[in-house]
């Protein structure tokens, strides 16, 4: 059965994968992964898709920020199949939508409680500090702390962007595996019954496929 994968931006940019594979820069790791994808396409007929223009645009912008050379973008356009998901035809079970609404409601309630905690904390700090400059510094630190905690509370485990949703829709449309390191994409891939591959494990998985295919060819030749 022909294998297809739909890639999230993190499939190419994941920091953990870069460290694990021993690459010094994002551009080096992107080049190596795209080379592996090319070999898998030519030798094993494995196709890797990227939602267009959402995830594709996000990935291109990310790579440009790191000043990757033109060769990376040539490989990106050559070996990743750009496709827009059919948002009008892909069917999502009502139970998935129902669960997502419940999840978001719970997240919003937790976010409200986090905000209330920091309002009380900031009012306590304000009542104890008279110096204006010192007060501004303390409040600034509280705001920064609040942003981090609020972001972690609301965003962890949810789909918080249209590119994330497009990855799932395209994978559902193509009956393909999802490659990502995003916790929200992983959670909702499982809910939708989609195969999920951690971005950090994807390069080694492709290498294993390629090694075994080469060994199979050698064994076939020796039998003949």
Tens-place pLDDT, residues 24-81: 899 999 999 999 999 999 999 999 999 999 999 999 999 999 999 999 999 999 999 9
End-to-end alpha carbon distance in the chain: 25
Whether the per-residue pLDDT at 222 is higher than 50: the answer is no
Q: Determine how many CB atoms are found less than 10 A away from the CB of residue 159.
A: 20
Q: Are 154 and 112 in contact (CB under 8 A)?
A: no
Split at pLDDT 50, 70, 90, the class of 1 is: low
- Asked if omega into 79 is within 30° of 0 (cis), the reply is no
Q: pLDDT of 131-144, one tens digit each?
A: 888 888 888 888 99
Of the candidate CATH numbers 3.40.920.10, 3.90.1300.10, 3.40.50.1010, 3.40.50.720, the domain formed by 4-90+162-223 belongs to 3.40.50.1010
Give the closest residue to 163 by CA, choosing from 144, 151, 180.
Answer: 180
Q: Which segments of 15-111 are extended strands (E)? A: 47-51, 80-83
């Amino acid at each position: 059965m022909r294998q297809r994968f739909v890639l999230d931006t993190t499939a190419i940019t994941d920091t953990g994968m870069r460290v694990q594979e021993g690459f010094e820069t994002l551009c080096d790791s992107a080049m190596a992964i795209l080379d592996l994808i090319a070999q898998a396409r030519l030798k094993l007929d494995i196709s890797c898709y990227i939602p267009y223009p959402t995830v594709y645009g996000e990935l291109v912008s990310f790579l440009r920020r790191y000043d990757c050379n033109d060769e990376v973008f040539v490989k990106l356009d050559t070996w990743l199949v750009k496709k827009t998901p059919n948002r009008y035809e892909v069917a999502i079970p009502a139970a998935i939508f129902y669960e997502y609404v419940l999840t978001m409601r719970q997240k919003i309630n937790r976010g409200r409680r986090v905000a209330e905690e920091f309002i009380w904390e900031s009012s306590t700090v304000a009542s104890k500090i008279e110096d204006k400059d010192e007060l501004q510094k303390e409040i600034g630190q509280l705001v920064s702390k609040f942003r981090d905690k609020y972001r972690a509370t609301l965003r962890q485990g949810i789909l918080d962007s249209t590119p994330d949703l497009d990855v799932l829709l395209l994978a559902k449309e193509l009956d393909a595996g999802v490659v990502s390191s995003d916790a929200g994409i992983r959670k909702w891939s499982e809910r939708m019954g989609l195969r999920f591959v951690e971005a950090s494990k994807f390069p080694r998985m492709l290498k294993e496929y390629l090694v075994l295919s080469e060994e199979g060819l050698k064994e076939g030749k020796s039998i003949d």
